[in-house]
Amino acid sequence: MKLILIEQPSQEAGECIRLAIVRQRYNPAGGAERFVSRALDALRQTAGLEVALLARKWEPLVGVRAISVAPFYLGNVWRDWGFARAARRVWQREGFDLVQSHERIAGCDIYRAGDGVHAHWLSLRRRTLHGLGRLALTLNPYHHYVCRTERQMFLDPRLKLVICNANMVKDEIQRYFNLPEDRFAVIYNGVDTTAFHPSLALTHRVAGRTKWHIPIDAPLLLYVGSGFERKGVARALSAIVAHPDVHLLIVGHDKHSARYQRLATQLGVATRVHFCGAQADVKPFYGMADGFLLPTLYDPFPNVCVEALACGLPVLTSTTCGAAELLENGVNGWVVDALDAPALSAAVGGWVGARDRWKELALAARKTAEPLTLERMAEKLLTHYRVLLNNLPQ
């Protein structure tokens, strides 16, 4: 689908609108990075739009001008501060029409709040800590830096639009920073609904389960993601203990993977849990699974949830996951408090108990994802760009 950008009064005839997208680094397993890659791929096909990416490093992107912004640093505070300072200098020098930042940098025109509200994340994190852990969190200079920078960005008068990937995030920003309603746009993450499709099961279910030694008829839940602690791998392991037929596939890298493998052994589920590591292509794993499990403590809107839905997998996730807005208990998934272990186990039990309705659940999951195409995501972004450009001073 080719998207046509309507010519703007603020642009000279024949000129392209020059958009800069700012994201510090690329992690192939990162949801935010995958969103940016997908958005760039959709936007670069748009007539009348010239897209540049400002980043320390990124994957090769055809049709997108990449500008390296890689100042030296030591430590995470210096890293983020140095990148923000250098990126701001670049976009001021280049004179872009619009700057859309995916990092907390004051002075951008558009901020895409893919990482949520850091202050809110810290409040949720404290729920899982006690004593010295809470004290360390409170004293950590990086968190103070991020919260201060976040507030400066949201209150900067140059910020014209905040793109949220869920209403949950919009509500949090309004609660913490009191921004007006007209400053927001809620645009769910898009997904390639052709590549992520229930037909993946035809190719991968038998071959994949054979490879990973999983019984063909076993109820199989899939977890995909890095950051095992935040995204709830320990909670996922505990949730399947009471359901002896359920297997769990864990796809993703974490430096503490061995700790979670030991926990699986301690819980008596090691023979039913399959740690697959990071994978360049996750589609075969969606094709192997019957459902998707992500008991995350905080996730603004994980790409993996919409990918799972597009593949026809009901999603079991938490109330602090933005994708929960798309779910209805027992229809296309289940939603519980991430830290309510009995409720999470009961949700797994509800999913297993609904096995005679799995085809119905799969159809409902797929139907939920079908409107969330990359083309529609790009159209919504472009609509907001047009509005902003019409309101720019001449």
Q: Is residue 269 part of a domain?
A: yes
* 29/252 Cα distance (integer angstroms): 7
Encode pLDDT of 84-95 as tens digits.
999 999 999 999
List the beta strands (DSSP E) in 225-380.
Answer: 247-251, 273-277, 291-294, 315-318, 333-336
pTM of the prediction?
0.88
The reported pLDDT for the residue numbered 116 is 93
* Residues 276, 279, 283: CA angle, nearest 5 degrees: 100
Is the Cβ–Cβ distance between 286 and 308 less than 8 Å? yes
- Residue 39 in any domain: the answer is yes
pLDDT at 378: 82
Domain span including residue 53: 17-190+373-390
**pLDDT per residue as tens digits for the range 108-138:** 999 999 899 999 999 999 999 999 999 999 9
Answer whether residue 99 is part of any domain.
Answer: yes
| Rounded Cα–Cα distance for residues 161 and 38 (Å) | 20
Token readout for 115 is 């990482």
Query: Three-state SS for 223?
Result: strand
Say whether both 185 and 212 belong to one domain.
Answer: no
- The CATH number of whichever domain residue 213 belongs to comes to 3.40.50.2000
How many domains are there within the chain? 2
Residues 185 and 262 in one domain: no
The answer as to whether 11 is a domain residue is no
Same domain, 324 and 180: no
Looking at the structure, tell me whether residues 248 and 333 fall in a common domain: yes
How many C-beta neighbours within 10 Å does residue 316 have? 26
**Residues 87, 111: one domain?**
yes
Expressed in percent and rounded to 5, the helix, strand and coil fractions of the chain are 45, 15, 40
pLDDT in tens, 154-207: 999 999 999 999 999 999 999 999 999 999 999 999 999 999 999 999 999 999
Give me the residue label for tokens 């794993």. 285
Is 9 a member of any domain? no
Q: Does residue 3 lie in a domain region? A: no
Segment 312-344, tens digit of pLDDT: 999 999 999 999 999 999 999 999 999 999 999
**Claim to verify: residue 177 and residue 292 sit in the same structural domain:** no
Mean pLDDT on 261-273: 97
Residues 180 and 204 in one domain: no
The Cβ-side half-sphere exposure at 197, using a 13 Å CA radius, reads 9
| Number of residues in the chain | 394
344 and 385 fall within a common domain: no
Has residue 362 been placed in a domain?
Answer: yes
Q: Are residues 225 and 248 in the same domain?
A: yes
Residue 308 lies in a domain: yes
Q: Determine the 3-state secondary structure of 118 from DSSP.
A: helix
Strand stretches in the chain, DSSP E: 17-22, 49-55, 65-68, 98-101, 110-112, 161-164, 184-186, 220-224, 247-251, 273-277, 291-294, 315-318, 333-336
32 pLDDT tier (thresholds 50, 70, 90):
low
